[in-house]
Structure 1
Amino acid sequence: MLNVLVPLTELITYILFSILIGHVALQFVSPEKKPSIYISRRFLLSCVLGIILFTFGPLLQVVAYFGGSVGVAQTLFSVLFTFEIGKAWIAIVWCSILLWLAIYLESSKYIQAVLLFLMVLSIGYASHVASLSFWTGFTSHTVHFLAVTLWAGILIQVSWFSKDSTNWDRFLRWFTPFAVSCMIVILISGVIVMLFVIDFKDYVNAWVLPYGQMLLFKHISIIPLLVFAFINGILVRRMRKTPTFDPRLWVKAESICLVIIFFFTGVLGTLSPPHDIDQTVKSEGAVNWVTNLLGSSIKIPVNLEIIGSSQGIVSFIFGVLFLIMIVLSFYKKKTPVLAVFLVISFIISTYLGLMTSVALE
């Protein structure tokens, strides 16, 4: 049950933080440089309360793990006051209460921004990489989380809560370079975070483990997100001349692509990081479907090699075609729902292409 519940809480946490950070960030943008946006105060207050609830998910997992030996109440007390994840949750609760009051009383945007930033710092403080190397891990995870939620938050605001697409060209003039900057920061900080867990030389070997599989899915899903960013940042300017064209629909599709990445990230947060792949395989075992795809059992030491295969090449070709069809569906003015379907098809096709191109040595 927790294997499903905790990743779901992580996913919702990312979405709630994105909504609030996007809302506050756009308060610093002048009205003529953004679409007209309406989001109810009641909904924002619910998002703040939701953060208190859903950030408790990882704590619940820790309590369930240790609770059987010393009791749930004692374990909960110990986790809250002696574990970094518990201390971080207490900080998030206090900041959330203050943020709830700040939004309810319509106080300064600067106060709201500071409180949200403190909550983001708490997320970084509780991260796994911070426990391995505090300052480097804490900084890289915090920057990564902030860049992701800033980009996603603004996208969610302008696509799901805007009244119309007025000022869209002016919005793109600043948001496109901003999004590119966020992506660069996300990639750099993401690599730093990953290297705390997996060395580059072990990246392929990690595919035999659940953590490596989710990391692979996450990295694959970034590619169609870049295609959407290209469409919504550059190609959309040419379509603006069409009176019936609504760019918000395609930004909604991009935000859904981000939610897919959030899902894989949420699952990653609940899995054991494979610092030693051979030891992790020995203690936890390999992923069953990987064993089936490879056609043989996983032996220690794990040594996966990319060898290429006809099935893999065909799958990669289909993956490239799916990306091209995303762009074509935009030019042909098809529904963005089709583009989301093509994104999922690309992820599956590219994943199968990679998994059928490796072999145990």
Structure 2
Amino acid sequence: MEWLVIIGQLVLSLGLAVLVGSFIVLAVPESKRPSLTIPPLVIAGSVIGVLVGTFIPVLQITFALMPRLSFTSALEMVLLSYRTGLAWSFTLLSSVFLLVLYALFGHRKERRYHVGYLALTVVMIGTIAWASHASSVALLRGFLGDFLHLLAAAVWVGVVFVIAWFSKDTSHWTEWLKWFSPVAFLSFVTLGISGLLLMDLMVPNYVAGLRTAYGQGLLIKHLLMIPLIFYIVVNSFFMKRWMEARNVNPIPWVRAESLILFAIFLATAYFSHQAPPN
């Protein structure tokens, strides 16, 4: 069950990132981003990934209750009485609504449709944050910290993933960097502030927390930020000059950044299901 929980958390994080990144990029005028095509199956698969990733904790609690209840009774209790189950029910409603709207209007390119899809995805992020570990420790602070952390990560990582793996060329690359660099910086700052807020709730003593699996996973996540910062600096400040002077293809560099972000998601998935030091 442990590896299933880790995989579920990873799929959940990637699904949210792809959805947020896709809808942001598609809402931007074509003159301010590279040409790209995002297959509808990627959107549908990401929604299903979010649903599956959020359902695994529901299943985990259900199995824990089964020694004294039948599976259906335990599942019903979790869905109707536990915050994790209630949050999944709201996520299910938002996901179905999103899939139906996308199936009906996914071919429309008007900005308002993509903004609507993005709003539904943000609602899903809110329900996930409401059911998080941090919210159970301190409802308002925990929810706010986890919501901002998830949203900032989805914006930054999602746009990088979409541009890295779905761009067809490097047209309008400079125009994309002009608006994305400040967005990425704002996301980075938000991640830092919300991360400190969450650490204050979950890991009051960072050094002492290193004795636990949760603290060790958190350390790995922080160490991965070192090579990530290198690629951020290159892609944000030097790539334009290299493209003009040396005709460098920027896509492999952005893909390298996306792979480090994937590794950070994997480390987060590993330690997030562990018991926090507090």
Partner amino acid, structure 1, of 2:126:
L
What is residue 35 of structure 1 aligned with on the other side?
34
In 2, Cα distance between equivalents of 1:97 and 1:242 = 48
Task: Give the CA deviation at 1:97.
Answer: 0.4
CA contact (8 A) 1:45 1:104 kept: no
Instruction: Tell me, yes or no, if structure 1 residue 260 matches structure 2 residue 263.
Output: yes
What is residue 175 of structure 1 aligned with on the other side?
180
Query: CA deviation digits over 1:266-325, x for unaligned, max 9?
Result: 1222111111xxxxxxxxxxxxxxxxxxxxxxxxxxxxxxxxxxxxxxxxxxxxxxxxxx
In 2, Cα distance between equivalents of 1:161 and 1:110 = 20
In 2, Cα distance between equivalents of 1:91 and 1:78 = 16
Instruction: Tell me, yes or no, if structure 1 residue 152 matches structure 2 residue 157.
Output: yes
Once the two structures are aligned, what percentage of the paired residues are identical?
30
In 2, Cα distance between equivalents of 1:44 and 1:133 = 33
What SS is found at the alignment partner of 2:210?
helix
Equivalent residue for 2:144, pick from 139, 145, 152:
139
Partner amino acid, structure 1, of 2:121:
L
Equivalent residue for 1:219, pick from 219, 222, 247:
222
Bigger drift between 66-75 and 266-275 goes to 66-75
The number of equivalent residue pairs is 272
Task: Give the CA deviation at 1:123.
Answer: 0.9
Query: CA deviation digits over 1:213-244, x for unaligned, max 9?
Result: 11111111112111111111112122102565
Task: Give the CA deviation at 1:66.
Answer: 2.7
CA contact (8 A) 2:24 2:115 kept: no
Task: Give the CA deviation at 1:65.
Answer: 2.5
CA contact (8 A) 2:19 2:118 kept: no
Change (3 A) 1:209 1:11: same
Moved over 3 A (4+): none
Q: What is the TM-score of this pair, normalised by structure 2?
A: 0.94
Instruction: Tell me, yes or no, if structure 1 residue 188 matches structure 2 residue 227.
Output: no
In 2, Cα distance between equivalents of 1:109 and 1:170 = 20
CA contact (8 A) 1:58 1:270 kept: no
Task: Give the CA deviation at 1:89.
Answer: 0.6
What is residue 61 of structure 1 aligned with on the other side?
60
Q: Normalized per residue, which structure has more helix? A: 2
Map 1:232-311; keep pairs closer than 5 Å: 232-241=235-244, 244-275=247-278
In 2, Cα distance between equivalents of 1:244 and 1:238 = 9
Partner amino acid, structure 1, of 2:27:
F
What SS is found at the alignment partner of 2:202?
coil
Task: Give the CA deviation at 1:178.
Answer: 1.1
What is residue 129 of structure 2 aligned with on the other side?
124
CA contact (8 A) 1:152 1:258 kept: yes
Task: Give the CA deviation at 1:64.
Answer: 2.4
Instruction: Tell me, yes or no, if structure 1 residue 208 matches structure 2 residue 211.
Output: yes
In 2, Cα distance between equivalents of 1:66 and 1:269 = 22
Bigger drift between 34-43 and 183-192 goes to 34-43
Larger Rg: 1
What is residue 171 of structure 2 aligned with on the other side?
166
In structure 2, stretches of 5+ residues that fail to align are 107-112
CA contact (8 A) 1:102 1:111 kept: no
Equivalent residue for 1:113, pick from 111, 114, 118:
118
What is residue 359 of structure 1 aligned with on the other side?
none
Query: CA deviation digits over 1:297-354, x for unaligned, max 9?
Result: xxxxxxxxxxxxxxxxxxxxxxxxxxxxxxxxxxxxxxxxxxxxxxxxxxxxxxxxxx
In 1, Cα distance between equivalents of 2:6 and 2:91 = 19
Task: Give the CA deviation at 1:73.
Answer: 2.3
Partner amino acid, structure 2, of 1:262:
F
Backbone CA RMSD of aligned residues: 1.4
What is residue 21 of structure 1 aligned with on the other side?
20
In 2, Cα distance between equivalents of 1:19 and 1:210 = 28
Bigger drift between 59-68 and 34-43 goes to 59-68
In structure 1, stretches of 5+ residues that fail to align are 276-361
What SS is found at the alignment partner of 1:27?
helix
Q: What is the TM-score of this pair, normalised by structure 1?
A: 0.73
Partner amino acid, structure 2, of 1:187:
G
Task: Give the CA deviation at 1:45.
Answer: 1.7
Partner amino acid, structure 2, of 1:223:
I
What is residue 333 of structure 1 aligned with on the other side?
none
Partner amino acid, structure 2, of 1:162:
S
Partner amino acid, structure 1, of 2:135:
A
CA contact (8 A) 1:221 1:261 kept: yes
Query: CA deviation digits over 1:50-104, x for unaligned, max 9?
Result: 2222221222222222322333322211111111111111111110001001111
What is residue 82 of structure 2 aligned with on the other side?
83
In 1, Cα distance between equivalents of 2:29 and 2:260 = 28
